[in-house]
Homo-oligomer: A and B are copies of this chain.
Amino acid sequence: MTKTRPLILVTNDDGVTAPGIRALIQYMREIGDVVVVAPNQGMSGMGHAITINSTLRLYEKHKEEGLQEYSCSGTPVDCVKFGVKVVADRPFDLLVSGINHGSNSSINVIYSGTMSAAIEGAIEGIPALGFSLNSHDINADFSACKKYVQQLAKKVLEKGLPKGVCLNVNFPYLPKEEIKGIKVCRQANAYWDENFDERKDPFGNSYYWLSGQFVNMDGGESTDEEALKEGYVSVVPTKFDLTAHEFRKELEGWFTGA
């Protein structure tokens, strides 16, 4: 009897040709059979967007033993849904998203297409990890990530994850020998202080570019921001239950006898 290799869904938000996903595909092929469904263009900042008011295309790009590659006209979350419902002929054992060009630590988790794909995996009951490197350079060197990506993927395959939880993994952009190891963290409390850069089009009308500065307001311990700064790989267990349970009791008090 042949033992079936784990089936791994690989996606990202930088698009199927980005160096980060090409690296991730190679790392995953050493662990299991790989199905790639990734956006056919950059989808950074798409958050948990899905395509419901327009149509979607799915393109078969490549097929060989242990590897099927598709691209999709939709968002990262659309890609996950396509992988699960259209492409796969058996359930996925693992979903990995990334490796993102740029950190998805702290509040970035909520804007990130990379992490939304991992969260969608958790929603669909697939153990999932999102990987991001703290460099936006399209030519960034991902090689220092390999050891940790494979270690974490194997751990999750072996141990599973609690229902509704995925992992948000961020790498400092450092040479292999300077990375200090893995640190389990919480999401730092930070926000983006935006600028709208106003410009004039050739017809004299205003248009805007959204940009901003990252502001970390979190002075506390065990944050992902702190771990990255210290040279650790940050791992934040991440969930899709957004209920602020700790405020429910007090909120109930607003309406009793009111």
A251 contacts B49, C-beta separation under 8 Å: no
A107 to B252, CA, bound (A): 22
- Of residues 140 to 184 in A, which have CB atoms within 8 Å of B's CB atoms? 155, 159, 161-162, 164-165, 167-168, 181-182, 184
Query: Is A81 a contact of B243 with CB atoms below 8 Å?
Result: no
Chain B hits for A86, CB < 8 A: 196, 208
On chain A, the number of residues with a Cβ less than 8 Å from chain B's Cβ atoms is 74
In whole Å, how far is A59's beta carbon from the nearest beta carbon of chain B?
A: 10
A1 at the interface (CB under 8 A from B): no
Q: Give this chain's copy count.
A: 2
Binds B, one of A18-26, A27-35, A38-46, A91-99: A38-46
Q: A85-B196, A210-B78 are in contact. Are A47 and B50 (CB under 8 A)?
A: yes
Q: By DSSP majority rule, is chain A's interface helix, strand, loop, or mixed?
A: mixed
Q: Which of B52, B186, B187, B238 contacts A210 (CB 8 A)?
A: B52
The verdict on A209 contacting chain B, using a C-beta distance below 8 Å, is: yes
Shortest beta-carbon distance from A87 to chain B in Å = 10
Residues of B within 8 A of A47 (CB): 46-50, 77, 116
Residues of B close to A235: CB separation below 8 A: 251
